[in-house]
Chain A
Amino acid sequence: MISPPRPVEPPVGEASAPFWEATRAKRLVVQWCTACERPIFYPREVCPVCLGSSLEWRDSQGRGRIDAFTVEHRPQPSFADEPYVIALVDLADGVRMMTNIVGCRPEEVRVGMEVVVSWEPLTDGRNLAVFGPAPETRAGGAR
């Protein structure tokens, strides 16, 4: 397991304060360009397609699919006491983010697995979005 608090807690970037504020209420939000009608991740001051600044925050569906992952077998003692999973998750909202996969054993993780967001507290009241197996995945036989 990853042992909180994490040695590296994320800073709040120039464009991402609303993202982190929402995590205090365990809400996952995604930045959208209203001109392009496209989601943006990571958050920016301008849209990376049109360079416009008509941007807004929308609630994420909080679910996605694992695109790729690795199991860290040599954890830093300050980070975890046993192997843990780092993954790239494609959110149903249309963006990809790095995260940890929790709530199952590393050997159960698969590319393509459906996952849902869960939250791990940071030391300043914000929460970090991590992901675990979607309930139907756990119940189903798709291993």
Chain B
Amino acid sequence: MSGPERTLRAASAIVGVADAASPTGELDLHGRALEAAMVKEALDDAGLELSDVDGVCHAESSMAVAEYLGVHPRFTESTMTGGSSFEVHVEHAAAAIAAGLCEVVVGVYAATPRSDRTQGRPSRRRLPAGPNPAAEWEWPFGLRMPMGPYAMAASRHMARFGTTSEQLAQIAVSTREWASRNPRARYQSPLSVKEVLDSPLQCAPLHLLDCCLVTDGAGAFVLTSAARAKDLARPPVYVLGAATAHDHMMISQMPDLCVTPGAVCGPRAFAMAGIAPADVDVLMGYDSFTITALLHLEDLGFCAKGEGGPFVEDGKTGPGGSLPMNTNGGGLSYTHPGMYGMFLLVEAVRQLRGECGSRQVDGAEIAVAHGSGMVLSCMSTTVLGTEATLG
């Protein structure tokens, strides 16, 4: 498989990005208007027009959003894998561009759970269609979603490998250090391991500050062919590798609570890109909960299985550390509107373009956006690189 998969390498590039978030946790716009603002900002960033767009990605309905925008695409993508949807969209769009199906693809996301509540707007929460085994085999037992399944994974990891609550808390602390350098982050004040451990237990062993935020947020990306990318407004950020894997929908069907499908798609994406973990300058690893980020570190090969706790405890994922992770402040401290994967891509692109100010990772050439969807169910890995990585 490695031969054909390599054909996606550097065939396309992200040429425009946008995202919106606020320290208040709320945004002024919502719904399609917010999505349209993100599309406009990302196209402006790229130096492209709406009339250039011939592909649309959206995790609910690419048809509805394309109609609203007045776009008539020839590539459409509505795959919904939860928070990893946007990495999946990049993978599929990169493949479509490589195959010549389309040339300029826009992906967009907006959700405003916090202001929906304060403004009394109807919730956008939907129930899954069709027969749902979770109603029969999980819901009766009172497992809170989404943190319950992640707490189970944490309990298993602790029992099997001796991982501690202090080690998990360090992930939140290091991520907060990055957030303190992002003026749009929801939480920017310093955080200590003790404060995480003193925050109320939710689903044990996870404390409140082991859990992601609930905020408004939105974002968009523009992906185009490597050829078209060369003379646009910003330096192209090339898609070097992309892969997706899922192995369950319900947590009770996850084969091993300590091994996510990232152990499958991570190495595949890295192989397509021709990189090893040591080559990664910035890791954007979906941090819905501290345990989520810890599992990514192991499954992507930054440390051995079971060694995530000792790996993070010296703060190496924070500013100045050897593996900068979630430099925007992550889902734990920057923003988390429900499906956070869009923000992984946006920050990875900005780091590779050197636009991140006081949180810029010097000389960043390779960044990884690793999305996690549902309950550790669907992982999707996007490896991005600058022009310098194409040699």
Contact = CB atoms under 8 A, between A and B. Distances in A.
B136 A16 contact: yes
Interface residues of B, number: 32
Candidate in A8, A67, A106 with the most chain B CB atoms within 10 angstroms: A67
A129 to B, nearest CB: 10
Interface in B161-216: 200-206
Residue in B133, B160, B252 with the greatest tally of chain A CB atoms within 10 Å: B252
B114 interface: no
B155 A2 contact: no
B203 A71 contact: yes
A88 B203 contact: no
B229 to A, nearest CB: 43
Nearest to A84: B142
B142 A72 contact: yes
Interface residues of A, number: 38
B141 A100 contact: yes
A98 B143 contact: yes
Contacts, number: 98
B138 A70 contact: no
Contact of B137 (A2, A10, A70, A74): A10
A70 B151 contact: yes
Contacts of B43: none
A86 B139 CA distance: 11
Interface stretch (A27-35, A52-60, A75-83): A75-83
Interface in A45-104: 67-76, 79-80, 83-84, 86-88, 96-100
Given A83-B204, A97-B252, 20 more contacts: A8-B135, A8-B140, A8-B142, A10-B137, A11-B135, A13-B133, A68-B152, A68-B156, A68-B159, A68-B257, A69-B155, A70-B148, A70-B151, A71-B201, A72-B148, A72-B203, A88-B257, A98-B137, A98-B143, A110-B159
